[in-house]
Amino acid sequence: MNDLSALADVTTVVGAPIQTASGYQVIPVSKVTLGYLSGGGDLGETKVIKEGESTPFAGGSGAIVALKPAGFILDDGNGCRFVHAGGDPLDNLIDKAAELLKKLQGDNAAE
């Protein structure tokens, strides 16, 4: 459990900033998914168990950790923007819609 909680550390979700030679600061962002599962049950027929008898029991447990890159935050000193790492069409659509709105607002301000 200690090893799993170390994987979900904040520096894993939002990584340490990386300075580039051109002056950009790149901050990696990842999605972390943790899942735990456990279960068990009594085997055999239902009966009254007397003192000293044992009953067959089956049990199991498991855990999963998934770390998926989400993208990068780019900081050029004048502003920040998020670049998606995945090929999810919805993410790309949201990015393009935001760029279009900024362009429209810029065109209206110039008039």
Are the C-beta atoms of 58 and 49 separated by less than 8 Å? no
Are the C-beta atoms of 84 and 73 separated by less than 8 Å? no
| pLDDT tens, N- to C-terminus, the chain (111 residues) | 566 566 555 556 788 888 988 888 998 888 888 888 898 887 766 667 677 777 777 889 998 888 888 888 888 888 888 887 876 666 667 677 777 777 777 766 555
Q: At residue 1, what is the residue type?
A: M
CA separation for the pair 99, 78 (Å, rounded): 17
User: Quick one: how far is CA 30 from the chain centroid?
Assistant: 5
The predicted pLDDT at position 61 comes to 92
Q: What are phi and psi of 37, to 5 degrees?
A: -145, 135
Widest CA span of the chain, in angstroms? Answer: 90
The predicted pLDDT at position 70 comes to 83
pTM of full prediction above 0.85: no
Q: Where are the domains of the chain?
A: 2-41+57-86
